[in-house]
Chains A and B, each alone.
Chain A
Amino acid sequence: MKGNEALVHGAIAAQCRAFFGYPITPQNEVPEYMSKYLPGVGGTFVQAESEVAAINMVYGAASAGVRAMTSSSSPGIALKMEGISYLAGAQLPCVVANVQRGGPGLGNITASQADYFQAVKGGGHGDYKMLTVAPWSVQEMFELAVLAFDLSDRYRNPAMILSDAIIGQMLEPVTIPDKVETDIPPKPWATTGAKGRKPNIITSLFIAPSDLEKANLNIQAKYAAATCNEVRCQEFATDDAEVVLVAYGCTARICRTTMQIAREKGLKVGLLRPITLFPFPSRRLRELAIEGKRFLTVELSAGQMVEDVRLAVNGTSEVEFYGRMGGMVPTPDEILEVLSRNF
């Protein structure tokens, strides 16, 4: 099945019961399949009048304690940023999927990874971040959708599935387990009507500076905990590698092929693939740098994740970058050439 359809199956398996969306290519299969499958499990589907309305509907559904989600592609995600900041400020869980396309502006509908900064550094106003996962296969579109819901509930914070046009549109076999493990905590804070309890208030408004600072410190403490507990990455042949490729999503697939070709040629190349982009596998990268390994970060962008790789390595080792933009996708040979030129 298509990546976008697997994402829908994963979300529904994770007990997502409310979806609000707006059409934009290349993510249209997500609202289409949601409208097909959600009513059958007692869920709510609304096609909103805009991305702005959709994320605010998510805010309402999340306030009710329901697992809620929206999806879009790059320009539409930009429109949701105000709402995501409000969700983070009000400490509401939700999942936002970004099937990235080329930008800036209208760009085009091909694959891109140029929304990395927006996803992992906040994107909207204020000191907040999204817990961000990056699937590299159709199977992971299913699995990381479940993880995104669990993370968002665990930390009461929006989670983002950062995908792209290739992963969203790609067809691959998927194994859907009979039973999906998912962890939905109690939500005594939900606004469902104050029956037999004190009223609940959901807000991100704290007029007194001391109150707002306290709220911010609370949010930052959650990010510190997530950084300790939730980093996920996958490594290939890093043990004896002299150069480690660092890439996520579809680019990591190309880098794995590059690595295999390089190994056949006797070059000691490995691959580290971050699965969570925030929290970022900084500690692991630093360990590898201390072991003397050098890095080549490959992205479909002008160089965004590479900044986090450099921060992690912090001058201990060499970090090179190779990127393509506009929907141009590097071939393994292209990356091999960059490897031989730089290392």
Chain B
Amino acid sequence: MELVFNRPKVLADMTMSYCPGCGHGIAHRLIGEVIDELDVLDRTIAVCPVGCSVFLYEYLNCDAVSASHGRAPAVATGLKRCVPDGVVFTYQGDGDIAAIGTAEIIHAGTRGENITVVFINNTTYGMTGGQMAPTTLPGQESTTTPGGRNPLTAGYPVRVCEMMATLDGVCYASRVSVSSPANVARAKKSIKKAFQNQLDLKGLSIVEILSPCPTQWGMNPLDSIKHVDEVMAKYYPLGEIKSVG
């Protein structure tokens, strides 16, 4: 019998700790498929963050280093500079990349570090219980914006990819979502390009994935997917924001 669908080699055979309807599992799988297709498993080094995906290294069959909150791009810089043949990627949430680690991601971009950044935007601090994230939308309820985020007191959401696209060292910035089969296919294409750019020594590539968090949004998984398409994607438009060469 012909095997037509299997787990990517880089994904370990174990149950992930994510909630039903969460986007992390799909994102992990897409990264796994890309690593398989590029045949770089034995060169890959993952830099894992703090947050819901803190156990990423347990789900991967590749070398992995866990970074402190927000510092993954700095850790990846040290790694990549010392292992130039390595395929180094960071996997970061919105609080990690756009609040505590803003300096690290911006400056990895300014230096044009030859790394791949996968950024999961679910507009909330999932692990710590649903506090306001830097990407929380105006009006969105969170445990620290009980009446909804009021930009006058809590500020505005940050569009990370648009910001990163302004930096000369960033060769690729793309926003995708995992809200439908078509979007998942587009997400994979972007992730593959972001890894291929690293192999081609083009500089820093970032892929932002709009990802549902039913638990902290207080929605069921289907409504969460609808929220990604109908609300999130309005504020965070999908597509390639920058692609050099």
Contacts and interface: CB of A to CB of B under 8 A. Distances in A.
Given A64-B82, A83-B71, A196-B42, 11 more contacts: A46-B77, A57-B77, A61-B82, A82-B68, A90-B65, A192-B63, A193-B44, A193-B45, A194-B42, A195-B42, A205-B66
Contacts of B44: 193-194
A62 B111 CA distance: 20
A17 B82 CA distance: 9
A120 to B, nearest CB: 23
Given A44-B82, A192-B83, A193-B85, A53 B66 contact: no
Interface of B: 41-45, 47-48, 54, 57, 60-68, 71, 74-83, 85-87, 103-104, 106-107, 111
A202 B104 CA distance: 20
24 contacts: A18-B78, A44-B82, A46-B111, A49-B103, A50-B103, A53-B107, A56-B68, A59-B74, A59-B75, A60-B47, A60-B80, A63-B75, A63-B78, A83-B68, A90-B66, A191-B65, A193-B83, A193-B85, A194-B41, A194-B61, A194-B63, A199-B64, A201-B65, A203-B57
B107 A49 contact: yes
Given A44-B82, A56-B74, A193-B86, A49 B104 contact: yes
A200 interface: yes
Interface string A186-214: 00000111111001111111000000000
A61 to B, nearest CB: 4
Nearest to B111: A46
A233 interface: no
A162 interface: no
Contacts of A48: 74, 107
Contact of A195 (B43, B57, B107): B43
A142 interface: no
A199 B61 contact: yes
A58 interface: yes
A296 interface: no
Contacts of A60: 47, 65, 74-82
Given A46-B111, A53-B71, A204-B66, A68 B78 contact: yes
Given A56-B71, A64-B83, A194 B78 contact: no
A58 to B, nearest CB: 6
Interface residues of A, number: 40
B17 to A, nearest CB: 10
B42 to A, nearest CB: 4
Contacts of B48: 203
A15 to B, nearest CB: 13
Given A193-B43, A193-B44, A193-B86, A58 B66 contact: no
B170 to A, nearest CB: 15
Nearest to A61: B78
Contacts of B75: 56-57, 59-60, 63
Interface of A: 17-18, 20, 44, 46, 48-50, 52-54, 56-66, 68, 82-83, 86, 90, 191-196, 199-205
B64 A202 contact: yes
Nearest to B77: A57
B235 to A, nearest CB: 28
A195 to B, nearest CB: 4
Q: Identify the interface centre among A49, A50, A53, A58: most chain B CB within 10 Å of its CB.
A: A53
B76 to A, nearest CB: 6
A191 to B, nearest CB: 4
A298 B107 CA distance: 43
A264 B43 CA distance: 67
A193 B63 contact: yes
A191 B45 contact: yes
Contact of B65 (A50, A63, A83, A195): A63
Contacts of B83: 64, 192-193
Contacts of A195: 42-43
Contacts of B62: 193-194, 199
A191 B68 CA distance: 17
Contacts of B60: 199
What 9 A-B pairs are tightest by C-beta distance, nearest first?
A60-B78, A56-B74, A57-B78, A64-B82, A61-B78, A49-B107, A191-B63, A56-B71, A60-B75
Contacts of B111: 46
Contacts of B68: 56, 82-83, 86
Q: Identify the interface centre among B43, B45, B57, B103: most chain A CB within 10 Å of its CB.
A: B45
B64 A66 contact: no
A304 B41 CA distance: 51
Contacts of A90: 65-66
B64 to A, nearest CB: 5
Contacts of A20: 78
Contacts of B67: 56, 59
A54 to B, nearest CB: 8
A55 to B, nearest CB: 8
Contacts of A196: 42
A273 B69 CA distance: 40
B168 to A, nearest CB: 16
Given A61-B79, A68-B78, A193-B42, A202 B61 contact: no
Nearest to B75: A60
Contact of B104 (A56, A191, A200): A56
B79 A63 contact: yes
